[in-house]
Amino acid sequence: MSKFRFSVGPWNVHSGADSYGPAVRAEIPAVEKYKKFAELGFSAVQFHDDDVVPDINNYSTDEIKAKAREVKSQLDQFGLKAEFVAPRLWMDEHTIDGGFMSTSQEDREYAMWRAYRSIDIARELGCDLIVLWLAREGTVCAESKSPVWATKMLIESINKMLEYDKSIRICIEPKPNEPIDRSICGTMGHVMAISAATIDPSRVGGNLESAHAVLAGLDPAHEIGFALAMGKLMTVHLNDQNSIRYDQDKSFGVENLRAAFNQVKVLKENGYGDHGEYVGLDVKAMRTTKDQDSYKHLENSLRIFKALEDKVDRFDYEFQKKCVESRDFEGLEMYVMDLLMGIV
Ligand code: XLS
Ligand code: MG
């Protein structure tokens, strides 16, 4: 029985369209996804603002809040909570050059409008967490904007959100690139620095995505550990990645099993979840996956996570201590491999 509670976003179940080809599976209605998420054992749903209110630009603040309440009643029907709301600042014509650090003041103001509406939606859904995946916050032409100015604009934007709602929490999900060429806030270290520079660092933290750490050439468990050491790991997006290719959002643990083991280990050893944090997935099915298998990557990710939890529970900390005292790291490493291969 896992000690953790799990969350997932509706975009994890998708039609399979990508930049190089059309959809390969039928679209599944959101409510049907919520029902299935509950059946699979998820406790919460992650949302973009326009997952809750499609065509959000067309509605007033009151209409947006009313539509959010409709989604809340759907979640209640399945005993699900909302984990967070993320403004989707990468699809709109107003965010072509980013949002918070766009070179257009009108577009920066639009990004703040979406950020404030995300807060309104979160409140109607009964959650206090906003995730900022800074997809287009950076440069496609290095000389188009100053990295000093852009960084300050991000801090200023977060401060405005913290002032708009006196108890909302802001969680940055760092990624070093894609779709942006050069990200302004690419790792958990950048997130911690941004947090410290805001008007209320206690309300600004990080969401570590396994694949994003790999794309930055970093170890996901160490990125998680860095945020935990600062007391600022607000959620995680567990998945996997085959080296520094495009963002693959593979099922958790399927490429780098030992790295996945150490992500579970650092979470478990440091009381993650004890204050309500969820283990979030951010995974996508293979393009070859058929309609009837639309949720298999979620089931696989949960199964691998829970199997690794058992491995962590069985980890021999006495043996580890002996190996460290005698600096027998070869012996310790082989023990870990035997544990993962099921030999011990
Ligand atoms: C990218 C992001 C994205 C969601 C917000 O990895 O997680 O999938 O939009 O979290
Ligand atoms: Mg993610």
Write out the DSSP string of 315-336: --HHHHHHHHHTT-HHHHHHHH
- Kindly list the domain boundaries of the chain, sorted by start residue: 6-294
Instruction: Name the residue of 177, 282, 283 to mutate for ligand 1: max ligand atoms within 8 A of Cβ.
Output: 282
First to last CA, the chain: 21
What's the CA-to-centroid distance between 316 and ligand 2, angstroms?
32
Residue having the nearest C-alpha atom to atom 10 of ligand 1: 133
Residue 118: exposed, middle, or buried by beta-carbon count in 10 A (0-12, 13-18, 19+)? buried
What's the CA-to-centroid distance between 321 and ligand 2, angstroms?
35
pLDDT band at 1 (very low <50, low <70, confident <90, very high): confident
Q: Going by CATH, does the domain composed of 6-294 fall within 3.30.300.30? A: no
**124 touches 177 (CB < 8 A):** no
Q: Of 49, 50, 51, 282, which one is the catalytic site residue?
A: 51
The pLDDT tens digits of the residues spanning 170-189 come to 999 999 999 999 999 999 99
- Asked if 51 is an active-site residue, the reply is yes
What does DSSP assign to residue 242? S
- Asked if 190 is an active-site residue, the reply is no
Cα 100 to Cα 91, 111, 240, 325, distances in angstroms: 14, 6, 29, 50
The pLDDT tens digits of the residues spanning 7-41 come to 999 999 999 999 999 999 999 999 999 999 999 99
What's the CA-to-centroid distance between 324 and ligand 2, angstroms?
35
Say yes or no: CB of residue 107 within 6 Å of ligand 1.
no
Residue having the nearest C-alpha atom to atom 2 of ligand 1: 133
